[in-house]
Amino acid sequence: MAKRDYYEVLGVSKSASQDEIKKAYRRLAMKNHPDRNPGDEDAEARFKEAFEAYEVLSDDQKKAAYDQFGHAGLGGAAGGGGFGGAGAGGFGDIFGDIFSDIFGGGMGGGRQRAARGADLRYDLDLDLETAIEGDTVEIRIPTLEQCEACGGDGAEPGSPVDTCDTCKGNGQVRIQQGFLSIQQTCPDCQGSGKKVRNPCRKCHGDGRVQSSKTLSVKVPPGVDNGDRIRLSGEGEAGEMGGPAGDLYVQINVKPHEFFVRDGNNLRANVPVDMITAALGGEIDVPTLKGKVSLRVPAETQSGKTFRLRGKGVQSVRTSSPGDLLVKVSVETPVNLNNKQKKLLEEFRDSLEESGRSHSPATTSWLDKAKRFFGEHLS
């Protein structure tokens, strides 16, 4: 049966780069691998065909001969040697990175390296003042630390650590995957190449022990919800004496009694009595540095927002502080006595007798309502 064009097999053009050729082969190899398609002879045939094409097109000399003379230019250099040939750097060079995705490990031998410890997260709740001003806070976290008794190798102090009988110290074992022979991490020693016969009594052979530690966290001024502080090397201890992971401190700012943070600005709602809003006056407004006086002009409406510049937050990412945005809410008096009610009634009558509009928002709303009802109910 005539062989298909290698470029057609991989689905690439003749001008494809080596990176494009490798990606195309990687995709086909993972899709058609026999272990992913048990009993599918067609998939196995496509897998072999893709390998043969890649073996030629990934080798500059073979590719040049193939481009000039086709399959005839290769002679016995491709397609006849199965999967053990030396083409394109040999089996291990071609499949090493590809099978790491399929089987979860590399194809090469050698012992497993010491593994880095896991990163940890700690949620730190701060009040708004601390988040804005900064501080040093102590936290206590549970973690896995290297066992001091055995130094992290898992063996009882003074007892030997033997070579693993299963992998003979190599850290990996060779297994048969369909028609392929590959290497995987030794299941008995987990890649260390060693076997602990007398486990450490303190850590039970794990090399790490559950512990807790107190750390001082320097909170920089201006942090906000979602910001993270990284403490290098303060995570879990690594396996087999590997380096520790990192600790990430997640900032959560608690709700404040007066302020809501909006980026670099602060927002606050402040009540104003009806008389001050109508005639004008001064009110006290809280800030993070103490109270300040705010001038309220006459005829101020409820919902009016005033900007106090520089009274906001200077975040960790900016060099100048934001503003304090004060929204006033005009408050209607309550618990009126008869005299007060009579005075308000007289005041209302005087407004109506003046013939002028003293409530612009109400007048505008009534005009819109009249137009609405006139258009929809006529």
Collapsed DSSP state (helix, strand, coil) of residue 104: coil
Q: Which residues pair with 212 in a beta bridge?
A: 142
Q: Do 340 and 282 form a contact (C-beta atoms < 8 A)? A: no
Cα separation of 156 and 200, whole Å? Answer: 4
Per DSSP, 258 falls in state S
Dist. CA 36–CA 317, nearest whole Å: 50
Tell me the C-alpha distance between 178 and 232, whole Å: 45
Partners of residue 329 on adjacent β-strands: 271
Tokens of 180: 């392929």
321, amino acid identity: P
User: Is residue 164 part of an annotated ligand binding site?
Assistant: yes
User: Do residues 208 and 145 make contact, with C-beta atoms less than 8 angstroms apart?
Assistant: yes
Read off φ and ψ for residue 61, nearest 5 degrees. -70, -45
Residue with tokens 């016969």: 197
Does residue 261 contact residue 324 with C-beta atoms inside 8 Å?
no
Per-residue CA distances from 214 to 139, 244, 248 (Å) = 6, 16, 14
CA distances from 146 to 52, 197, 281 (A): 48, 19, 67
203 labeled binding residue: yes
Please tell me whether 200 is known to bind a ligand: yes
Roughly what angle, to the nearest 10 degrees, separates helices 18-32 and 41-57?
160
Is there a binding annotation on residue 147?
A: yes
Of the candidates 227, 142, 230, 157, which has an alpha carbon nearest to the alpha carbon of residue 196?
157
Q: Which two tokens stand for residue 264?
A: 């670099």
State the DSSP string of 123-147: EEEE-HHHHHH-EEEEEEEEEEEE-
Which amino acids are annotated as binding site for Zn(2+), given as ranges?
A: 147, 150, 164, 167, 186, 189, 200, 203
